[in-house]
Each structure stands twice: as structure tokens, then as C-alpha cells.
Amino acid sequence: MAEVLSVEFQKACQLHQQGYLQEALQCYFQLIETDPVFWQCYQNIGLVLFNQGQTEVGLSYLFKAHYICPTDAMCLNNIAFALHSSGHLVEADFYYDKALALNTHASFVLKNYANNLLSMGELERAAEVFDNLLKNDPENFEARKGKITVLLLKGDLLSGFKAFNQQREMLNPQVYQRFLQPLWQGESIKEQTLLVHETQDAGFGFGDMIHLARYIPWATTFAKKVIVECKPPLVRLFEHLHENILVIPQKSTLPEFDVHLPMSLFPVVHKTQLDSIPTSPYLSTSKDWASVAPLPKTSEIKIGLVWAGMPGRTQDKRRSCPFTELLALLQLPKIKFYSLQKEPIAHVLKEHHCLPLIEDLSAKLNDFADTAFIIEQLDLVISVDTAVAHLAGAMGKPTWLMLPYDPDWRWMLNRDDSPWYPSMRLFRSPKPYAWNEVICDVKSALIQLFN
């Protein structure tokens, strides 16, 4: 019987790995009917359900597996990881400790344990664990990535950016070897043309491009000419960064150039430290190159809202605020709210019957130049960590940024301002997914500011 169960379990695991989740679940449940203490089945059911968004039910199955087999470190690690992912950081820390008590040197536990410490803001403890992992495995990607995050969150930008680009070059060498021309190292190239190009990987988005565009005017002081390659929605916006640049959309035929630089290398070449960041405003707009009509005049305070990032992007769930939390802001008088969300997010305005309370501008936002034109007419932008927040900050527009408990490295920790954007004010969640408290602080600040 045990041999038959083992074969059936392997078949279920194979279905699981191949993505046939419902079929795998059915097999796991059948195995439990035959053997009610088959703890590996409970564990795998928990993992499937948790990854499908059924957090509490998934955790229940993971705990059931642990009760049956309390001495398995991987089982404890899975519980801790699920708790971490759902924002229960202190509880996760407890179960990681239990897992490490069973297997002190388990790298799969140590990696997750360090990331949980990072989410808790325990930078020194996290760095110590990452360092220990790297001693045993210098090429450990997760440990290197975690150590880089610690450096950047602490404000050690020069070391952090150097390590970041070394890591990226190892993982994605084609970015740096894309051209036969040499990399620009920051030397004077007065008789040469510099190509600035996008880092073509899944983790480099519009916000990153806007954030790093601050360095392009600086680069023009070294080169005869600067060519900027970027995604099409950024072309019209970037064309006005400086008179001595040529902006072309990605995948276009490139003009001749002498040296090149991926945008992610700008902070390294610039040798950026906290006190030497090229700050905003560095992006601007004009009605002469906008493709949309101006907003109607109103005596009300005009505020733009962004509550969610791009669906499917890494960390989007963590950084996005449920729209229902924003409803408390709509109660304030003498304020005209505008949604700067693009589809498919903007449809929630209709679902919640909020279109009379918030004007949906998604149809006007054809590219970032149009978005900049709209932002210029607003009194304030309130946003989660998205490209729109970077754009508003880059324009010098008063911007209130709503951050999760464990923010992106740019926003550092324990401060309500940003060295990257002087016009920005940070509102931080005091604990994971506590958006209601962030909105409460924003509402109080709006009342105080506009009386």
C-alpha cells in the first residue's frame, strides 16, 4: 500500500509542477482519504491554495501538515513564508526560528528568514544573515540581491548601485554587451555621441526610466550629442529633457554613436551619494505639445489620485492600495478628485459608483506627455509607488506618496521626505497592509493643509 501511495503522490506532484493544479488537488485529496496523516499532501494542498489567493485556507492546510510532522524544516519554512507573504512578519519570524532550530544551515530557510527581517526593517540582522549565506555561496542570487537592498535602504547609494549593476551584468550580460561600442565611464566625450538605452529586463519599468532620466541633462555636459532610446510612451516626454538630445522609441533603427550606457549605470558613473543626487524638477510640459484639452476651470482644489500599479508586475499587490480605502478621502469638501489610473484599473470607479466623485481621465492619458500636461494643472498628486508618482516628483509637483510597510529601496526607512524628489511627502504604513491608517493620515493632512 505504501508503495502505491508513493507512486500516486509522485504523479500528483508532477501534475502540480506542470501547472495542472485542479487535477493535482484532486489527487492529493484522494490520497488523504486513503491515508489521513499523509502530511506531504496537506502541505502541497496548502501551497496550491495559498498561491491561488486562498490565504487562510492555505495556511490551515500548512499548519495541519506541521501538526502531523512537527520536525520537518521545509514544512515550517513554508508556513513562515506564507505568513511573511500575507504580512504577518512577527509570526513568520517565529516559525523561521523554529525551522532553523531543526536545520541551522538550511540555505532555503536562511534566505527567506533574511528577507523577512528585511521586510521588518531589521537591516543589520538581515545583512548578517545575507553575509553568512554569501560566505558559503558567493553566487547566491537572493543573498546578493538582499544585501544590495540593505545598502540602498541605508542610503549607501554608491556601494549599492555598484553591486546592483554587477549583479545585473552577471544575470543579463546582453544588456552590457548589446553593442560593439564601449561603455561610457564618465569621461569627457566632447566630440562623440552617447547612446543612453533602456535596461531591457522585466524588472525595469516606466518609473525606473523616469527616475533615472534626471541624469540625462547631466550627461549632455560631457558629450557632443546624446541619443536616448526608450519605450514609446516616454518619447514625447523625454524629448524636452534637453535641447541637445535625440529621443527614439525602442526597437527603432539606431543612428550612429560612439559610446553607450544602460540607464541603470547612471548612478555609478555619476558616483551618486545622498548629498549629490541630481534633484527635480527635470521634466516639464507645455500645452503646445499636449494632445489633450486642458481641464475645465474650477474653484475647487484639484487633486490627482493613483491607488494601484500595473497588474501582474512584481510586488504590485504589496504596493497597491484597495480602492475602497480611498473612499474616506472623497468625503472632503471643496476638492475635485481626478483619477490618473489607466485601464484596466480605472473600471473600479464604475463598479463602486464613484464617477461623479472622481473624474476618470484614463481616456486622456495617451502617453506620459499627456499625463504630465494633466499633472501640471493639478494642485496635488496623491499616489502609491507608481510611474505617475515619479513623474509628478520629477516635475516638482507637490506629491504625497503612500508607501507599504516595506517600501522600495528608493524611499529608505524612517523619513517622510525623499532625497530624490524635494516636492514629495511620504506617508508610510505602520504595519503590513494597513492602508486604512495611511489614508487616515492623508485625510488629516489634507484637512490641515486646505483648512
pLDDT-derived band at 44 (thresholds 50, 70, 90) equals very high
Close Cβ partners of 121 (under 8 Å, ≥ 6 residues apart) = 406, 413, 414
Mean pLDDT over the full length of the chain:
91
Q: How far apart are CA 438 and CA 320, in angstroms?
A: 12
The predicted structure's pLDDT at residue 315: 72
pLDDT-derived band at 68 (thresholds 50, 70, 90) equals very high
pLDDT at 142 exceeding the cut of 70: yes
Average pLDDT over residues 274-289: 88
Average pLDDT over residues 342-368: 87
**CA nearest to 329, candidates 450, 169, 207, 206:** 450
Average pLDDT over residues 387-415: 96
pLDDT-derived band at 198 (thresholds 50, 70, 90) equals confident
Q: How far apart are CA 217 and CA 308, in angstroms?
A: 30
19: left (phi over 0), alpha (psi -120 to 50) or beta: left
- Range 2-170: architecture per CATH: Alpha Horseshoe (1.25)
Domains 2-170 and 290-450 share a fold: no
Measure Cα distances from 191 to 157, 161, 187, 218, 224 in Å: 31, 28, 12, 16, 5
pLDDT at 355 exceeding the cut of 60: yes
Domain extents in the chain: 2-170, 189-276, 290-450
The predicted structure's pLDDT at residue 208: 94
CB atoms inside a 10 Å sphere around CB 12: 24
**CA nearest to 293, candidates 362, 346, 370, 368:** 370
pTM over 0.85: yes
Cis peptide before 267 (omega within 30 of 0): no
The predicted structure's pLDDT at residue 116: 96
Average pLDDT over residues 325-340: 94
pLDDT at 43 exceeding the cut of 70: yes
pLDDT-derived band at 200 (thresholds 50, 70, 90) equals low
Among the ranges given (309-323, 338-352, 364-378), the one the predictor scored with the smallest mean pLDDT: 309-323
Average pLDDT over residues 123-137: 93
For the domain covering 290-450, report its CATH number.
3.40.50.2000
Higher pLDDT, 264 or 246: 246
The predicted structure's pLDDT at residue 417: 97
pLDDT-derived band at 249 (thresholds 50, 70, 90) equals very high
The predicted structure's pLDDT at residue 312: 66
pLDDT at 1 exceeding the cut of 50: no
What the block records as the C-alpha cell of 22 is 485542479
pLDDT-derived band at 314 (thresholds 50, 70, 90) equals low
Average pLDDT over residues 60-82: 96
pLDDT at 3 exceeding the cut of 80: no
Average pLDDT over residues 148-154: 95
Higher pLDDT, 325 or 173: 325
pLDDT-derived band at 16 (thresholds 50, 70, 90) equals very high
> Considering the chain, what percentage of its residues have pLDDT values greater than 90?
77
Using CA atoms of 99, 102, 107, 109 in order, give the dihedral in degrees to the nearest 10: 0
Q: In the chain, what is the straight-line distance between the N-terminal and C-terminal CA atoms, in Å? A: 75
Q: How far apart are CA 270 and CA 272, in angstroms?
A: 5
Average pLDDT over residues 164-188: 81
pLDDT-derived band at 287 (thresholds 50, 70, 90) equals confident
Among the ranges given (73-77, 199-203, 301-305), the one the predictor scored with the smallest mean pLDDT: 199-203
pLDDT at 236 exceeding the cut of 60: yes
The predicted structure's pLDDT at residue 338: 96
